[in-house]
Amino acid sequence: MAETSPAAYYTLLCLAVGVIVLLKLTKAIFSSRHGAGARNLPPGPWPLPVIGNMHSLLGALPHHAMRALAQRYGAVVLLRLGHVPTVVVSSPEAAREVLKTHDAVVSNRPLYVTADILSYGGQNIAFAPSGSRHWKEVRRLCATELLSPKRVLSFRPIREEAAAGLVWSVAATAAPPLATVDLGERIKVVMNDILMRCAVGDTCPMRNEYMVGLDEVLELLAGFNLVDLFPGSRMARMLGAGSLRAAREVHDKVHRIVQVIIQDHESKDANDGGSGGRRDDILDVLLRLQRDGGLETVLTTEVVCAVLFDVFAAGSETTATTTIWVMSELVKNPAVMKRAQSEVRRVLQGKTRVAEADIQGQLPYLQMVIKETLRLHPPLPLILPRSCAEPIKIMGYDIPRGTTIFVNAWAIGRDDRAWPDANEFRPGRFEDGTVDFSGSDFRFLPGGGVEGCALV
């Protein structure tokens, strides 16, 4: 009998080792889904070794892919993104259980490594540990000082001036000779200008650089780092080192810019003895509270920078995106546009300039148009993820501790069981006032839960 060659022997040995490793991986995956006391885990696609279900989200926007999975597996779907167990809920009933029934257990955000760097170690509102003294104080600060009704009202002249400027610029472009108007870009510029003036004043150094830096921060936060998907993996940390370095560089750059803006504010205050007749902006309020104290948390420069970022992140892109979607839906639905135009012209007849007082409560149909736009095109299709601190049940399924939970607001807004003719743009569906926007109706998100808004 012929002897087995060394090459063939080593080939067989490698194949045997490979089969054993594959069997162990398969057993581990099977145990994670069906073991641990025969838990009743949510259904979902079968995960592949190493990458899990990441391939299931390729080729489409994540919220689109997740809705397709929900249509196949149900309102609660279990995925494994890398090594991270993830649950996606896509119905009002499941969202209620996450955002209300188990709100206290799932109120914390998973602090991904990139978010940890860019949020100063979770010192902003979105990523601060829920229920902590710092979290409570910063939220109270926003509610009573930064975004109180009185403070928001004080910014009315800024909003009115910016709106008038937008109207006049579009009208000037539309006059002969006609030119193409990129309305979306102009809306973004106006929204950013309003936020900048409210947050740091009418004039401040390095204004444009700050906006560019914020865009870079948001772009980094929108993605995943390999370390987030494979926590504890040395190889993931090595392969993700470049993006971590980029996050630190952007963080340092934005921090330096904010320090320059703060120094400019402090210099103006020193020269004119306070605001000197200037309208207090949000940074003025933060610096005053930093000087005077009285809070249970220390307003360090890092906290000031983190809170300023929250103001911009929550207001700039979301407001501009919603406004652009409103315009797009009006163009696509001429009958809706005609009714909205008729209402606006009736209310503003004879006025050359729009004041907020003139339209307060006077444009109910336009408000319905905005609500319908938010239903179909939520600014954040996937509400910021939550981390499960303890084992819970959602719709009868066992959700293990440490699971990341996403609420697919985009899918809920297009759920035919919750909304008749869900994919049609019909503002009139809100005319009877049966949809509650105070947070108790989970067909319409954001909203809900003890936080009042699921986004922050």
String of DSSP letters for 304-357 = HHHHHHHHHHHHHHHHHHHHHHHHHHHHH-HHHHHHHHHHHHHHTTT-SS--HH
Enumerate long-range contacts of 318-321, CB under 8 Å, 24 or more apart.
Answer: 318/379, 318/380, 319/191, 319/379, 320/184, 320/187, 320/188, 320/191, 320/192, 321/377, 321/379
Number of domains in the chain: 1
- List Cβ neighbours of 275 (8 Å cut-off, separation of 6 or more): 269, 284
What is the predicted pLDDT for the residue at 454? 37
Q: Which of 320, 418, 436 is nearest to 373 (CA)?
A: 320
Q: What is the mean pLDDT of residues 184-206?
A: 90
Whether residue 399 is contained in a domain is answered as no
Is pLDDT above 70 for 81?
yes
Strand partners, 408: 382
Give the containing element (helix H, strand E) for 126. none
Token pair 């040395």 is found at 234
- In tens, the pLDDT along 340-390 reads 999 999 999 988 888 898 898 999 999 999 999 999 999 889 998 999 999
Query: CATH number for the domain including 143?
Result: 1.10.630.10
Question: Can you point out the beta strands (E) in 31-95?
Answer: 76-81, 84-89
Q: What is the pTM of this model?
A: 0.85
User: Sorting pLDDT into bands at 50, 70 and 90, what band is 176?
Assistant: confident
- In tens, the pLDDT along 23-60 reads 445 444 444 544 445 589 999 999 999 999 999 998 88
DSSP assignment of 218-282: HHHHTS--HHHHSTT-HHHHHHTHHHHHHHHHHHHHHHHHHHHHHHHHHHHHHHHTSSTTPPP-H
Whether residue 63 is contained in a domain is answered as no
Question: Can you point out the beta strands (E) in 368-448?
Answer: 382-387, 392-394, 397-399, 404-408
Whether residue 364 is contained in a domain is answered as no
Counting residues of the chain whose pLDDT is more than 70, the rounded percentage is 87
Strand partners, 393: 398
Q: Residue 370 is encoded by which pair of tokens? A: 């905005």
Is the distance from CB of 403 to CB of 119 less than 8 angstroms? no
Whether residue 303 is contained in a domain is answered as yes
Q: Which of 81, 73, 76 is nearest to 48 (CA)?
A: 81
- CA 259/CA 282 separation, integer angstroms: 15
More confident call, 175 vs 397: 397
What is the predicted pLDDT for the residue at 354? 84
Whether residue 287 is contained in a domain is answered as yes
Token pair 């981390």 is found at 387
- The top-scoring range by mean pLDDT among 118-127, 180-189, 398-407 is 398-407
- List Cβ neighbours of 100 (8 Å cut-off, separation of 6 or more): 442, 448, 449, 450
Strand partners, 78: 87
User: Sorting pLDDT into bands at 50, 70 and 90, what band is 111?
Assistant: confident
* C-alpha separations of 379 from 80, 100, 113, 413 in Å: 25, 21, 24, 12
- Its domain, for residue 138, covers 110-317
Residue 8, judged by CB atoms within 10 A of its CB (0-12, 13-18, 19+), counts as exposed
Give the containing element (helix H, strand E) for 297. none
* C-alpha separations of 256 from 35, 182, 213 in Å: 50, 33, 11
Question: Residues 175, 180, 183, CA angle at the centre, nearest 5°?
Answer: 100
Whether residue 168 is contained in a domain is answered as yes
Is pLDDT above 70 for 1?
no
- List Cβ neighbours of 269 (8 Å cut-off, separation of 6 or more): 275, 276, 284, 287
- List Cβ neighbours of 78 (8 Å cut-off, separation of 6 or more): 33, 41, 42, 43, 44, 85, 86, 87, 397
The per-residue pLDDT of the chain, averaged, comes to 86
Whether residue 202 is contained in a domain is answered as yes
- CA 76/CA 86 separation, integer angstroms: 10
Whether residue 41 is contained in a domain is answered as no
